[in-house]
Structure 1
Amino acid sequence: MPVYSLEGVIPVVHPRAFVHPAAVLIGDVHVHADCYVGPFASLRGDFGRIVMLEGSNLQDSCVFHTFPGTEAVLGRDGHVGHGAILHGCRIGAGALIGMNAVVMDGADVGAEAFVGAHAFVKAGFVVPPRTLAAGSPARIVRELNAQELAWKANGTKVYQELTVRSRETMRECAPLAEVEPNRPALSTGAETSVLLDVHRSGPGGPEVRSGGPSKRLVE
């Protein structure tokens, strides 16, 4: 992975984390155990400290940055969807940030809160724990229910399992020219990841496994 020291400050990655080789880490970055950092994510600790606490994930093409002399934190089991931008904010334990959302400086997303896809959370805005914030600028839509929180927790578990799968089995390779006989299957079947709408209506209730945020979170 491209990892760069800056003024003698070197990024720290726990041995149980997985950082994709195409992600970039610069300076005062701390990636704790069981974290997942996706391809093309940028964690720039060149002005202030960037922290990913245990079990959190930062997915493809996310940006994590902050203002000089400040610290930006993604809390334990935090879940950040593809293309999101976190700048100088604090994301609480178990919170979910939807795809392409932007969370600005001094914003505080509470524990187990959801920020909907494409939301813009303005500087200094507070999202209370276990609530849904959506829109641009974001507003508090409602409280979350136990089924939604279980769905999110399962989705984060899927990414924590992906951390292990990636660390143990992902290898750079050349592509095949054609599909080989008896091609192996991935370990993630259809039951692993379902949309929130399916989770709500399915017979499994909170036990249904889930992989990521539903588009309905922003409606």
Structure 2
Amino acid sequence: MPLFSFEGASPKVHPDAWIAPTATLIGNVIVEARASVWYGAVLRADFGPIVLREGANVQDNSVIHVGEQGCELGKGATVGHSCVLHDCSVGTNAVIGNGAIVQDRASVGSRTLVGAGALIPPNAVVPDESLALGAPAKKFQPLTESARAWVEHNEAIYTQLADRHRSGISPVTE
């Protein structure tokens, strides 16, 4: 896994976390136990910290970059495939849908689902336990039962999948 120190700050990865061999972590990145960073993801913490709390996951080809505020993903939070997060915070067990963008100083509440392709604009506050849709996302509504299921089960699904990848992948040499 590519880990790079930047100006004396190095990534810190808990031994129980899983980082895909093609993910890249640069600078002041902290990855707690049972968290995972998937293939092609880039976490670049050259201005401030990036923190993935226990059980959080950043899926394939997503990018997290920060300004001075930094970025924190709460316990069990999920960042779906091909997302961009910049200098923002994501609450406990929140799910950021595939291709969504969360911009500077935005705050996504706990147990919230940001829909695929949504754009959370700078300084926006998405309330706890809501569904955020649109580009830019303006209307926040209560979670549907289907959305609630994703929020409640995603951490366990990705923790188990990370364990399978930790023991089940190997380079192809042919």
| Same fold? TM cut 0.5 | yes
Q: Which amino acid aligns with 1:9?
A: A
Structure 2 counterpart of 1:83: 82
Write out aligned runs for 1:1-219 (5 A): 1-67=1-67, 69-145=68-144, 148-174=147-173
Partners in 1 of 2:140 and 2:107 — Cα distance? Answer: 16
Partners in 1 of 2:131 and 2:145 — Cα distance? Answer: 13
Paired residues in the alignment total: 174
* TM-fit CA distance, 1:149: 1.8
Partners in 1 of 2:72 and 2:83 — Cα distance? Answer: 14
Partners in 1 of 2:154 and 2:107 — Cα distance? Answer: 22
Partners in 2 of 1:32 and 1:57 — Cα distance? Answer: 10
Partners in 1 of 2:116 and 2:130 — Cα distance? Answer: 14
Partners in 2 of 1:102 and 1:151 — Cα distance? Answer: 19
Partners in 1 of 2:168 and 2:14 — Cα distance? Answer: 18
Unpaired stretches in structure 1, ≥5 consecutive residues: 176-219
SS for the counterpart of 2:157 is helix
Write out per-residue CA displacement over residues 72-116 of structure 1, whole angstroms, 9 at most, x where no aligned residue: 101110011100011000000000101110000110100001111
Task: Mark the CA change 1:60 to 1:16 in structure 2 (over 3 Å): closer, same or farther.
Answer: same
Partners in 1 of 2:144 and 2:56 — Cα distance? Answer: 21
* TM-fit CA distance, 1:156: 2.5
Q: Which amino acid aligns with 1:96?
A: V
Q: For the aligned residues, what is the CA RMSD?
A: 1.3
* TM-fit CA distance, 1:121: 0.5
Partners in 1 of 2:24 and 2:150 — Cα distance? Answer: 30
SS for the counterpart of 1:153 is helix
Task: Decide whether the 8 Å contact of 2:97 with 2:115 is kept in 1.
Answer: yes
SS for the counterpart of 1:160 is helix
- TM-score, with structure 2 as normaliser: 0.95
* TM-fit CA distance, 1:59: 0.4
Partners in 1 of 2:82 and 2:53 — Cα distance? Answer: 19
SS for the counterpart of 1:132 is strand
Task: Decide whether the 8 Å contact of 1:48 with 1:70 is kept in 2.
Answer: yes
* TM-fit CA distance, 1:157: 1.2
Partners in 1 of 2:98 and 2:44 — Cα distance? Answer: 20
**Runs ≥4 residues deviating over 6 A:** none
- Between structures 1 and 2, the one with greater strand share: 2
Q: Which amino acid aligns with 2:9?
A: V
Unpaired stretches in structure 2, ≥5 consecutive residues: none
Decide which structure has the larger Cα Rg and report it.
Answer: 1
Partners in 2 of 1:39 and 1:141 — Cα distance? Answer: 31
Task: Decide whether the 8 Å contact of 2:113 with 2:147 is kept in 1.
Answer: no
What percentage of residue pairs aligned between the two structures are identical?
41
